[in-house]
Amino acid sequence: MDDDAAPRLYPDLPGNAGEGPLVPLPRPGQDVTDRILLATWHEALSSALSIDIPHDLFAFWLYPAEGGSVLLGPSELAADHLAVPEPPAIGAGQLGLLEEVIRGAGYASTTTAVVRSEGVEVGLLLFAALAAGAHSHAERIAALRAADILGPTVSRLARRWRRDGSVRADRDPAAESAALAGAAEATAMAASPRDLARALGAAVEGVLPHDRLEILVPGSSPEQWYRLGEHPGGPLWGDPDLVVTREQSDVSGLFSEGDDVLLVGAAGEAAALPALAGRPPARSVIGRRLSVAGRTVGVLLLGHEEPGRYGDDDLAVLARVAPLAAIRVDAFVTGGHLQVLRTHVATLRGVPSRIGRVLEALATTEDPAEATRRFESEAAVMVTFDQMWFALRLGDETRVAMVAPGEKRPLPDLPQMPLGATLLGRVVRGEAPTALVDAPDQTDLIVSLRVGGKVIGAMVLTARREGMFGGLDEEIARQLADAIAPHLELMRRAAVAPPPIVSGWKRSPKM
């Protein structure tokens, strides 16, 4: 081949200095997936490396990201159907067996070296010489150094090659332009976040095939993200099924090292993006952080169930789509927050009249059990909960009686709960006005019951979901607790007060 077509030697590359081997690498812009250029490159590699590693046979296998192995050269070796070890975790024992097979074919000296890139096995080099003793420790070191130098180049090849030996075609510029135009239209026309995700997925499917498209927005902590792409519209975080916890998928961890994510998902590895709410798991994942004015507003993830589906060129396309989506995602999030604020304002405006109805119900009911039952009914209109309890102090300061609305039994006959070092105990002792207990399947809001500057117990609201109570709920709950506290105090005093002394009592003549 002529000088223009031949791969060049780069002696200034890391590993090529000193006495290391000179490794031919393709010039920037050359496509080594071309079969003729590939054969030329293999021949150049064999010739250059023979100076440091004498050999009569140089075999070069590629490990595509989707699994399997592909012989890059020499093509004649394919007729032997030689079985080579495959990822993950190729061990010395497996390489030893391969070398033993080659020695059995008449090559007295053999050396193998695994090509790795970022810890992933992407290729295998095998050098074999007919002469005995041709490979010593120095030749093995040279083979390992050559494998290190080839790592980045072979890794790029592994992302483009398929298990069956075929190569992914280069992307059509016209199709890419059409995808970007479709993405721009999707962001402009989508009426809801769900519409945006579906239209965006349809627009890029031709250039970025995927089984899943996720648009996620961050919560108040790195522990939680919200699946905005599945949100039909309205206030955010209202559907607990759309909340993604760290246990389900560590979204923050995916973007811990930058704005991009590229996971090739080698065969045998667990899915990079687990199944969520009926959506299939994805082994191959590409992602891009969505930013507006330097502020992260969300992330865009595409996933495919096949390993090795994506490469650097796919990530470059996603980087052009992401800014289009980021602006609309930010608008949806801002709109959702504004809708929540409007709801809060409307609720706060209605609280005084609702509290008035609570006070009226309490003032017009003689039966304490009926009064607490009506109170619960009115409170449920203002705060969403599944269960209400009153924890009332009796004679023992270390325990409280647990009273349910509508309870008719006397307080001393009710179950009592020890306070100890609990959040309920802190509220009842007056150490904190409120407390929030947030568990995966339950949320408790605890509010103190106050009468005359003294805490007589606590009101406990329980919701059988995670993260159900916010700041507005706490404010309304405090007002409700202040309304019911005097009535509960009458019940409490009646239970703990000593009976009146009536024996020997005489009516005064003046009465």
Q: Are the C-beta atoms of residues 62 and 96 closer than 8 Å to each other?
A: no
**Which of the residues in the chain have pLDDT under 70?**
1-20, 27-33, 163-172, 220-222, 238, 264-271, 277, 335-354, 356, 358, 361, 467, 495-511
Q: Tokens in use for 259?
A: 């704005």
pLDDT score for 168: 62
pLDDT score for 499: 46
pLDDT score for 132: 92
pLDDT score for 54: 94
Within 10 angstroms of residue 166's Cβ, the number of other Cβ atoms is 12
Q: Tokens in use for 400?
A: 């409280």
pLDDT score for 16: 42
How far is Cα 330 from Cα 327, in angstroms, rounded to an integer? 5
pLDDT score for 145: 92
pLDDT score for 330: 85
Q: Which residues pair with 128 in a beta bridge?
A: 57, 110
Domains of the chain: 8-160 (3.30.450.40), 173-338 (3.30.450.40), 366-496 (3.30.450.40)
- What's the first-to-final CA gap in the chain, in angstroms? 129
Quick one: how many helices (H) and strands (E) in the chain?
A: 10, 18
pLDDT score for 109: 93
How far is Cα 81 from Cα 419, in angstroms, rounded to an integer? 74
